[in-house]
Chains A and B, each alone.
Chain A
Amino acid sequence: AQSVTQPDIHITVSEGASLELRCNYSYGATPYLFWYVQSPGQGLQLLLKYFSGDTLVQGIKGFEAEFKRSQSSFNLRKPSVHWSDAAEYFCAVISNAGNMLTFGGGTRLMVKP
């Protein structure tokens, strides 16, 4: 069965600093990978996705992620964090057999002024 692990439950960074959120997946075939962001009490907003092709994908709000098959990872990055980026971030994988999203446990990002 497919699974997603986000090793960091909480991360705190200073405003303007760079950010990397880790995501590891377990899936036999080529995965389809997503990053979502959730503000408190809100639904999920899609930041970016990887289906195929270039392993470095660009998303909204200045985020990017890199797919590394050898490491089964899909880490999310941002060069300079803004206070408004404080939220919960979820990595997810989808199987080609269906359209079911399997989510990681999430990483809560806090931004210090």
Chain B
Amino acid sequence: ETGVTQSPTHLIKTRGQQVTLRCSSQSGHNTVSWYQQALGQGPQFIFQYYREEENGRGNFPPRFSGLQFPNYSSELNVNALELDDSALYLCASSALGGGPSEQYFGPGTRLTVT
């Protein structure tokens, strides 16, 4: 069974640029959630995708957007990067179906904005 994978591992961008992060969900999972973890803090929920539709969103501006594909993999896009967007971005997959479920995390993408 393949776990959750994310790419790239590290990324350096300049303020104002755009970035796309990728996530492959665990086999059998239909839901992907994205979290932002700033240094020294707990992860913060960005949004969740279930069957290719956004299924909940945290307190993040519209320049954070996402996609989920038919194979349940997902992308996180961030436009107009700001210095405060520097963080570890974590993707988690789960099998949603009528109730809460465990989320399994990937290793994360470390984004640095200069």
Of the listed residues A95, A100, A106, the one surrounded by the most CB atoms of chain B closer than 10 A to its CB is A100
A74 at the interface (CB under 8 A from B): no
- B40-48, B65-73, B75-83: which one contacts chain A? B40-48
Which residues of chain A come closer than 8 Å to B96, judged between CB atoms?
A: 99
Cβ distance A91 to chain B, nearest Cβ, rounded Å: 9
Residue in B6, B35, B58 with the greatest tally of chain A CB atoms within 10 Å? B35
User: Is the pair B41, A43 in contact by a Cβ cutoff of 8 Å?
Assistant: no
Q: Say which residue of B99, B102, B106 sits within 8 Å of A43 (CB atoms).
A: B106
CB nearest neighbor in A for B10? A41
| 24 A-B contact pairs sorted by A residue (CB < 8 Å) | A34-B102, A43-B90, A43-B106, A44-B43, A44-B90, A44-B105, A45-B105, A46-B103, A90-B42, A95-B100, A96-B99, A96-B100, A99-B31, A99-B33, A99-B48, A99-B100, A100-B45, A100-B56, A101-B45, A101-B92, A102-B45, A103-B43, A104-B42, A106-B41
Q: Give the number of chain B interface residues (Cβ < 8 Å).
A: 29
Of the candidates A32, A94, A95, A103, the one whose C-beta lies within 8 Å of that of B42 is A103
Whether the Cβ atoms of A101 and B43 lie closer than 8 Å is yes
Closest chain-B Cβ to A2's Cβ sits at a distance in Å of 11
Instruction: Decide if B103 touches A43 in the complex (CB within 8 Å).
Output: no
Number of interface residues of A (CB under 8 A): 26
A98 to B55, Cβ gap below 8 A? yes
The residue of chain B having its C-beta at the shortest distance from the C-beta of A103 within the complex is B42
Q: Which residues from chain B sit less than 8 Å from chain A, CB to CB?
A: 4, 6, 31, 33, 35, 41-45, 48, 55-56, 58, 90, 92, 94, 96, 99-108, 110
A99's partner among B43, B56, B105, B108 (CB-CB below 8 A) is B56
Contact at B100–A32, with CB atoms within 8 Å? yes
- A79 CB to closest chain B CB, in angstroms? 25
Contact check, B33 vs A100: say whether CB atoms are below 8 A apart. Answer: yes
Distance from B104 Cβ to chain A, minimum over Cβ atoms (Å): 7
| Cα distance A45–B4 in the bound complex, in angstroms | 11
Which residues of the other chain, B, contact A99 by a CB distance below 8 angstroms?
31, 33, 48, 55-56, 94, 96, 100-101, 103
